[in-house]
Amino acid sequence: MRGKNFLCWAAVLSSFLGSLKAQTPSSSNQKSSFEDWNQPFEPFRIVGNVHYVGTNNLACFLITTSAGHVLIDTGLEESAPIVRANIATLGFRLKDIKIILSGHAHFDHVAGHAAMKQATGARVYATAADAAILESGGTKGFHPLTPYPPVKVDRILRDGEVVRLGDQALTAHLTPGHTDGNTTWTTTVKENGKEYRVVFVASMSINPGVHLVDYPPWPTIAEAYAESFQRLKSLPCDVFLGPHAPFFDLEAKVGRMKAKTDPNPFVDPQGYRDYLASFEKSYHEQLQRERAGK
């Protein structure tokens, strides 16, 4: 059942992203669409030192350490006031954010990078492929979407590279497909004497207008997706998080957390497996349709 929910929401996402191709960045229709994704959401601690500071749909995560903090994703430009307020509500200071990371360089996850970098003085890290997109303001890459304020990338990350801050280590796993530099992040946190393996999984949906067969902008995209799915399935996972809140059932899990019916509903290894299975199924279905010429 949960797999169907993933795919239903992914279909909504694809339809919306597809509509952006016909709109200018200032389009009133586009801004109206953004509002649905950009509603305030109460910030909270997920597990250990990992906190949710994003909107109702656009996930942003603050990982706190003894030497400052790491922010993963910043949402839209319009998300900035929400993210800043959420960080303050949890008792943390913007100036203590030292590193800004991202899952992939699409506008709905990184358009706030430039403003957040300016507000915090943090350094922006990204894979080489996504760094090119970030520094172009979203105009580069094999399938550009809506442009956004460009941001200077301070450190280029290699596949498997470890980012360290204080006593926290995050590993970058290159999982290309959704973008060239699509990145999954993993780390381990502690809570009540127990360790939890956290996966900030990359988006594995296929953007509207992107083909898997005979696709000149990226001839090997089908193979890239296949390899990424295999790699993701090999990652150990206790806590499953992602770039869009519906991907990991944010609202339902927060409800269970508040009701105290579950020790921590975000400990969800099966949810991670379901997420991958759902999007891999969708990938294979599109691949079969294209190979059949449909």
- Nearest one of 115, 198, 117 to 154, comparing CA atoms: 117
Residue 47 has pLDDT above 50, yes or no: yes
Is the pLDDT score of 19 beyond 50?
Answer: no
Question: Mean of the pLDDT values across residues 170-195?
Answer: 98
pLDDT one-digit tens code per residue, 86-131: 999 999 999 999 999 999 999 999 999 999 999 999 999 999 999 9
Percent of the chain with pLDDT over 70: 88
| 91 CB burial (10 A radius; 0-12, 13-18, 19+) | exposed
- Arithmetic mean of pLDDT over the chain: 92
Please give the distance of CA 244 from its chain centroid, rounded to a whole number. 6
What are the structure tokens assigned to 228, written together? 């990424």
The DSSP annotation for 61-77 comes to EEEEETTEEEEE--B-G
List the structure tokens of 278: 């759902």
Q: Looking at residue 26, what is its pLDDT?
A: 44
The pLDDT of residue 35: 87
- Using the 8-state DSSP alphabet, how is residue 122 labeled? P
Quote the tokens at residue 250: 């944010």
Band (pLDDT 50/70/90 cuts) for residue 28 is very low
What are the structural domains, with CATH classification, of the chain?
2-291 (3.60.15.10)
Q: Is the pLDDT of residue 177 over 80?
A: yes
| Number of C-beta neighbours around residue 153 at 10 A | 24
pLDDT of the residue at 23: 45
With a cut of 50, say whether residue 70 has pLDDT above it: yes
Strands 155-157 and 162-165: unpaired
Residue 238's pLDDT is what?
99
Q: Which of 16-20, 114-118, 161-165, 205-209 has the lowest mean pLDDT?
A: 16-20
Rounded CA separation 260/254 (Å) = 10
Is 8's pLDDT higher than 80?
Answer: no
- pTM listed for this prediction: 0.91
Q: Which residues of 217-230 are buried (b: 16+ CB within 10 A; e: fewer)?
A: ebeebbebbbebbe
